Structure 1
Amino acid sequence: MTHDQLVAFEAIVANGTFRGAAERLNKSQSAVSHAIAALEAELGITLLSREGYRPRLTPEGEVFFRETSRVLHQFRALRATAVRLAAAEEPEIRLAITATLPMTRLLPVLAEIGQRFPATSLRLATETMGGPYGRLTEGRADLALATLDGVAVDAVEARAIADVTILPVAAPRLAANLADGVLSVAGLQGYPQIVVAGTGGPRHEQSRDLLAGAQRWTVSDFAAKREVILAGLGWGGLPDHLIAEDLAAGRLVALEIDGFPPRRSLIHAIRRRDAPPGPVASELWTLLTSVPPG
């Protein structure tokens, strides 16, 4: 029994097919099939049923998979420990941050990291939609702070760090043109919905909170989105912490839309399982995840 065999077994279960596992592991499908066949022969049990279109865990395979997951998790933790012990402080830590994250949640952590590790530079990239996760998977970020939308959770470790509510809002003069009470989709279709362009490529463009049939104006960031909405040129969802003062001062009005309620957005610290962190990144993770989201 080898580590590579266990990794192949885990990949097949996670991806659902031998082909998917091979693509994930960057190996040929025949190599993955051979690894599993050799593992089954050594164990003397059948782990995967090949009778259907997709391989399925046998009863014995289900038990063995639970133990495989536990062993691989311990192996990765051990490897990460070895990397931390052998590594000096990283020269640079790269963070990819969703634009909806309240910076008040992050800044005290960065201040402490800066004091404790003065030789390490910090590089922050603010992204929208799937941009932070895209940077992480492409190796252009050591840590992403974002929602889990579109994230392959089996390939990452994630911990919730912040809770944000996205509120649909409009300027008072636009809201005054709308009917009193709960708004209908039809009542809003005549007004532009302001959305933010994604920074993670076409597959990471906004797909949630889009009003069917509405005209859309796309802007590059939340600062521009807020300004357009404040000007009364359209409506849209904005993070509560960005508009608290606008709501209190009456510059913006929260809209109650049928089928379009405020949405809770849980932001996570996310790191890749296959990229063990150095000592600074490890400490940054600990500081970020030690405080409950709020």
Structure 2
Amino acid sequence: MYRPKTTLEQWRILQAVVDCGGYAHAAAKLNKSQSSLNHAVAKLQNQLDVQLLEVRGRKAYLTEAGEVMLRRSRHLTQNVQELEVLAESINQDWEPQITLAVDLAYPKPLLYPVLKDFYPDSRGSRLRILDTVITGTEEAITQGWADIVLTGMVPKGYLGEPIAEMQFIAVCHPEHPLAKMPSPVDPNELMHHLQLVIKDTSQTPNEKQGWLKSELRWTVSQFDTAIELMLQGLGFCWLPEHKVCDKINQEKLVKLDIKGSSFRKMVMWMVHPRPDGLGPGSQLLSDCILAHRQIKHTIKSTEEQPCK
């Protein structure tokens, strides 16, 4: 019978050292001494007879072999976590707390009737509803810290149920120079104007989505902040149509017709990061979400007014 040379704790320490960029920060995150982490990684390398890390300056970097081993180790620790969550789910009748991660782009008015239906049968479960953006939403799935995730992108290896469809449009103030240019606006013109960007909620953001070529960008944490700035004549921004439809109808903002990209359509999905460990409360909430899905219709503004 095969006996492993290494432990899960060693692999978790290696992952923390890499994710935190060094032993000092990893030690603070894990509440362990730096020397114990050094010893654990050194022992791991000796047991495997493979160099996984090399230290340059104050930072630890993965070797090529380390990159391969680390990637496989993440699957291992994730599988163990899912197995333990499954056991916990089997042993309890109803989860005491449910975490719902909602991408900031998802229209909150669609969520309110869901929660109204869920509440009478929630059996006192504490519900955490957390706003996430871009990589932060993806991490809620891949790191498994949420029970249900409403997202605009399903990561590789996961399944999702489509629940809504929406559009992102570029907007600015009517007096902004971009609004006065002949339509369609040349995308190269955008590079010379202030772009407002919504902050990624991940601790390690990865800006890999959307147009981000402007030489000057301001980052804000909420759509409403971007809208308020544009109402003052500052910048342009891509936003969900339902968030700015009323401002467009009131002629306080205008929709930009950009050559090659008049709008971007996004399908919103419901994803279960740990489907095998889904408790009865989370299942009930999922059923309520599906009962109110709006995938057959493009989401309009909360006032149900079409944008001009």
Classify the TM-score, shorter chain.
0.5 to 0.7
Q: Distance in 2 between matches of 1:187 and 1:133?
A: 31
1:26 aligns with 2:73: no
Structure 2 gaps of 5+ residues are: 1-67, 298-308
SS at match of 2:94: coil
How far 1:124 moved relative to its partner? 0.6
How far 1:132 moved relative to its partner? 2.2
Q: Indicate the residue corresponding to 2:147 in structure 1.
A: 142
Q: TM-score scaled by structure 1?
A: 0.68
Identity %: 24
Q: For each residue in 1:71-103, what CA deviation from the matched residue of structure 2 results, as whole angstroms up to 9, or x when unmatched?
A: xxxxx9xx97x9877532211111111111011
How far 1:136 moved relative to its partner? 3.4
Q: Indicate the residue corresponding to 2:182 in structure 1.
A: 180
1:127 aligns with 2:132: yes
- C-alpha spacing 1:284/1:177, structure 2 compared with 1 (3 Å): closer
CA contact (8 A) 2:100 2:129 kept: yes
Q: Distance in 2 between matches of 1:252 and 1:103?
A: 22
Q: Distance in 2 between matches of 1:272 and 1:289?
A: 17
CA contact (8 A) 1:209 1:260 kept: no
From 159, 166, 169, the equivalent of 1:167 is 169
CA contact (8 A) 2:98 2:127 kept: yes
- C-alpha spacing 1:289/1:122, structure 2 compared with 1 (3 Å): same
Q: Indicate the residue corresponding to 1:99 in structure 2.
A: 104
Q: Distance in 1 between matches of 2:214 and 2:71?
A: 40
Q: Distance in 1 between matches of 2:115 and 2:279?
A: 16
Name the count of aligned residue pairs.
223
Q: Distance in 2 between matches of 1:136 and 1:168?
A: 28
State the Cα RMSD in Å: 2.8
CA contact (8 A) 2:144 2:273 kept: no
Q: Distance in 1 between matches of 2:76 and 2:127?
A: 31
Q: Indicate the residue corresponding to 2:265 in structure 1.
A: 264
Structure 1 gaps of 5+ residues are: 1-17, 28-75
Equivalent AA in structure 2 for residue 25 of structure 1: H
Q: Indicate the residue corresponding to 2:220 in structure 1.
A: 219
SS at match of 1:198: coil
Q: Indicate the residue corresponding to 2:280 in structure 1.
A: 279
Q: TM-score scaled by structure 2?
A: 0.65
Q: Distance in 2 between matches of 1:284 and 1:129?
A: 23
